[in-house]
Amino acid sequence: MNETLEGILKEVHQIRDQIKDVETLENFRVKFLGRKGLLANLADELKSLDDEKKKKFGYQFNLAKKEIESVYEELKQNLVQEPKVRFSFRHPGQKPLVGHLSPISLALNQAIKIFTNLGFKTILGSEIENEYYNFDALNIPADHPARDLWDTFWLDQKKEEEVDKKNQRSKKNKNKNTDRYLLRTHTSPSQVHYLEKNFPPFRIIIPGKVFRYEATDKTHEFEFHQLEGLAIGAGANLAELKGVLEKFFSEFYKKNLKIRLRPAYFPFVEPGLEFDVECIFCLNQKKKGCAICKQSGFIEIGGAGMVHPFVFKSVGLDSSKNYGYAFGLGLERIIMIRYKINDIRLFHSNDKRFIEQF
Ligand code: FA5
């Protein structure tokens, strides 16, 4: 065999084992089989030989070319069969990130379940109210000092002009203070809407978001959730209210925490009261420096009382024939107690370290 061809073949077999990736394989192809490669150079030489030599050398050339081509094909096959990145079907997959309910939704769902079992129907109210429903109908007229209790986000009047005009045209609202709109400061206005359209007896809860224009601290947010309750009809008295609250809290916390009722003033109930749950942060020890219960041993959860005759009058019901109780509790507060969350502002902080714990 021609010496040059022999040398080329020898080199092919020497380096074939070193070819482990696509890049070196391509270098191999260019070097031996490419248009300017070693074989192509030899083929040029072939042209200048006489017929006899051309025949002999041509035969050897073709044999060598076939051999190099088959080495190249074999190497190529091996590389295709052994890809760099291997995939095993037995390898556990990566779990996709799936969201979950927030602690507020979880608590709300549970609260709805408990109250449903106690005979309460769930109603939803509107987050935008007008002055009449949020205040006037609840016995809080414009000059009443109780309005100071609820710092309010008023809505931009100009944008509401069209809605106001519509309301002014309506006979029903002729003498009512329906011109000014606001973000509701409590869920109690929904009591009035429901009482206007429904006849007792009934027992309802109204959960939802409320807004107050106030400075925040560990137990106060400017946007939080309340759960309103309203029971009108035979048996809806303070004794039942106490039983309902005790049952709710023992089911919600799955243990018996002490509940305290104390007299309080709300213009839309008479008598009025506030209810507290014992502080789990200092275990009702009134520990010095407990910033959550402010060393009172209890955390305020909500207000309640017997529906005021004024409210019945507002909705056209006879207060001598109807009676019942109402209550409103702060949802974030009861969740804070359950999970020992020591700052209400964490709920809306969007901090994944907080959210992922639920
Ligand atoms: C009211 O909002 C009354 N509407 C409750 C009521 C309903 C009384 C029916 C009588 C009859 P108050 O402003 O106290 O009351 O709020 C009720 C509860 O909401 C509080 O006890 C507390 O748990 C929660 N709360 C009040 N302000 C905040 C705040 N800024 N941040 C978080 N929770 C709050």
- Residue that has been written with the tokens 């909500």 in this structure: 302
Same domain, 20 and 117: no
The pLDDT score that the predictor gives to residue 277 is 86
Same domain, 204 and 314: yes
Same domain, 68 and 200: no
Q: Would you write out the chain's pLDDT as a tens digit for each of its 358 residues?
A: 678 889 999 999 999 999 988 899 999 999 999 999 999 988 888 888 888 888 888 899 999 999 999 999 999 888 876 656 677 778 888 888 888 999 999 999 999 999 999 999 999 999 999 999 999 999 999 888 878 777 889 998 655 555 555 555 444 555 677 778 999 999 999 999 999 999 999 999 999 999 999 899 999 999 999 999 999 999 999 999 999 999 999 899 988 888 899 999 999 999 999 999 888 777 666 666 677 787 888 889 999 999 999 999 999 999 999 999 999 999 999 999 889 899 999 999 989 999 889 8
Q: How many CB atoms lie within 10 A of CB 172?
A: 9
Q: Is the CB of 332 under 6 A from ligand 1?
A: yes
Same domain, 264 and 210: yes
Confirm whether 215 is domain-assigned: yes
The pLDDT score that the predictor gives to residue 258 is 85
Q: Is the CB of 125 under 6 A from ligand 1?
A: no
Dmax (CA) of the chain? 131
Same domain, 53 and 121: no
Token couple for 87: 């995939």
Confirm whether 90 is domain-assigned: no
Q: Is the CB of 331 under 6 A from ligand 1?
A: no
Q: Is the CB of 298 under 6 A from ligand 1?
A: no
The residue among 338, 333, 353 whose CA lies nearest residue 210 is 333
Find the CATH number of the domain harbouring 295.
3.30.930.10
Confirm whether 64 is domain-assigned: yes
Side-chain half-sphere CA neighbours of 327 within 13 A:
27
Please answer whether residues 156 and 111 qualify as being in contact, where contact means their C-beta atoms are separated by less than 8 angstroms.
no
Same domain, 261 and 304: yes
**Does residue 337 sit in helix, strand or coil?**
helix
Token couple for 16: 């074939």
User: How many Å apart are CA 31 and CA 66, to the nearest integer?
Assistant: 15
- DSSP state for residue 35 in the 8-state scheme: T
Query: 19, 45, 80 — which closes off a domain?
Result: 80
Instruction: Determine the residue of 187, 220, 252, 266 to mutate for testing ligand 1's pocket, defined as the one with the most ligand atoms within 8 A of the Cβ atom.
Output: 266
Nearest CA to ligand 1 atom 15: 303
**Does residue 298 sit in helix, strand or coil?**
strand
CA 291 / ligand 1 centre spacing (Å): 19
Same domain, 108 and 73: no
Nearest CA to ligand 1 atom 16: 302
Determine which one of 107, 269, 277, 307 is catalytic.
Answer: 269
Q: Is the CB of 290 under 6 A from ligand 1?
A: no
CA 261 / ligand 1 centre spacing (Å): 14
List the beta bridge partners of residue 263: 273
User: How many Å apart are CA 187 and CA 29, to the nearest integer?
Assistant: 80
User: How many Å apart are CA 303 and CA 329, to the nearest integer?
Assistant: 7
Confirm whether 60 is domain-assigned: yes
User: How many structural domains does the chain have?
Assistant: 2
Determine which one of 150, 184, 191, 307 is catalytic.
Answer: 150
The pLDDT score that the predictor gives to residue 102 is 93
Q: Is the CB of 333 under 6 A from ligand 1?
A: yes
Determine which one of 64, 184, 226, 333 is catalytic.
Answer: 226
Same domain, 260 and 119: yes
Instruction: Determine the residue of 104, 222, 226, 259 to mutate for testing ligand 1's pocket, defined as the one with the most ligand atoms within 8 A of the Cβ atom.
Output: 226
- Residue that has been written with the tokens 């010496």 in this structure: 3
Same domain, 7 and 112: no
Confirm whether 134 is domain-assigned: no
Token couple for 231: 């029971």
CA 272 / ligand 1 centre spacing (Å): 13
Element (H, E) at 130: strand 128-130
List the strands of the sheet with 223-232, edge to edge: 121-122, 202-211, 223-232, 324-330, 298-307, 269-278, 259-263
Contacts of 13 (CB under 8 A, 6+ apart): 71
The pLDDT score that the predictor gives to residue 179 is 75
Same domain, 29 and 121: no
The pLDDT score that the predictor gives to residue 84 is 63
Nearest CA to ligand 1 atom 24: 330
Query: 23, 45, 80 — which closes off a domain?
Result: 80
Q: Is 326 tagged catalytic? A: yes
Atom of ligand 1 nearest to the CA of 188: 4
Q: Is 226 tagged catalytic? A: yes
The whole-model pTM stands at: 0.72
Please answer whether residues 333 and 300 qualify as being in contact, where contact means their C-beta atoms are separated by less than 8 angstroms.
yes
Same domain, 119 and 214: yes
Give the structural domain span for 14: 2-80
Q: Is the CB of 305 under 6 A from ligand 1?
A: yes
Q: Is 192 tagged catalytic? A: no
Q: Is the CB of 326 under 6 A from ligand 1?
A: yes
The pLDDT score that the predictor gives to residue 97 is 85
Nearest CA to ligand 1 atom 25: 330
Same domain, 122 and 10: no
Confirm whether 131 is domain-assigned: no
The pLDDT score that the predictor gives to residue 211 is 96
Confirm whether 291 is domain-assigned: yes
Nearest CA to ligand 1 atom 31: 220
Confirm whether 267 is domain-assigned: yes
CA 199 / ligand 1 centre spacing (Å): 26
